[in-house]
Amino acid sequence: MIFGQNGSNEVAAEEVAIRLPATLDEFLAGVERRAFRMAELALSHREDAMDVVQDTMIKLLQYRDKPAAEWSPLFWSILRRQLTDKHRRNAVKKRVMQLFGKSDEKDEDPIEALPDHNEDPLRRLTDDSSWNALGKAVRALPARQRECFLLRELQGLSVLETAAAMGCSDGSVKTHLSRAMSALRIHLEDWQ
């Protein structure tokens, strides 16, 4: 929080008012891409990520009467729960498919497999490899550490916002993030 020269929090209140979106539509438009990247990283499947983000946005609509300052923690909390639910559903689906001797491999869209002639292939390979390695490392984290890392580092939420979204104390957020960063550092050292 930023304080004025006389120690008041007048400046902080003005800055918060400047940053808050005027409408829920504006808020959702501003958070959509970041939420999708977070979901895609957590789930490793584009269509599942789009579904989770869409469901999260729909669920947030029931809170449209809340003050704009509460939308962000609510949104990330809902998204976190949606991701957890999707992980659970995918695990159950995988077990059921294994019982029937079928693989749960998702077919790749043939259109997406076509090369993009407007992009440097080596750079795309490096970017894709880096993103996939990070995604694999993040998915290997315990659930609370993964949630904390995604909210703090990928979404840039503050410790207090992350604590509100995760329903824990700010000390727990710091602990989860520290452990997640250590685990990721160890996992990604081997990748490089």
Q: What is the pLDDT of residues 145-179, one digit of tens each?
A: 999 998 888 888 889 989 998 999 999 999 999 99
Q: How far is CA 13 from the centre of its chain?
A: 27
The tens digit of pLDDT for each residue in 94-118 reads 877 776 666 545 544 444 555 555 6
* Residue 124's pLDDT band (cuts 50, 70, 90): low
Q: At how many degrees (to 10) do helices 71-99 and 24-43 cross?
A: 30
The answer to whether the beta carbons of residues 174 and 159 sit under 8 Å apart is: yes
Asked whether residue 15 carries a pLDDT value surpassing 60, the answer given is: no
Nearest to 170 by CA among 73, 68, 42: 73
- Give helix 159-166 / helix 71-99 axis angle, nearest 10°: 50
* Residue 9's pLDDT band (cuts 50, 70, 90): very low
pTM, rounded to two decimals: 0.55
What is the number of helices (H) and of strands (E) in the chain? 9, 0
Domains of the chain with bracketed CATH: 24-106 (no CATH), 121-192 (1.10.10.10)
Note the pLDDT tens digit of each residue in 24-64: 899 999 999 999 999 998 888 899 999 999 999 999 999 98
DSSP, residue by residue, 154-176: IS---HHHHHHHHTS-HHHHHHH
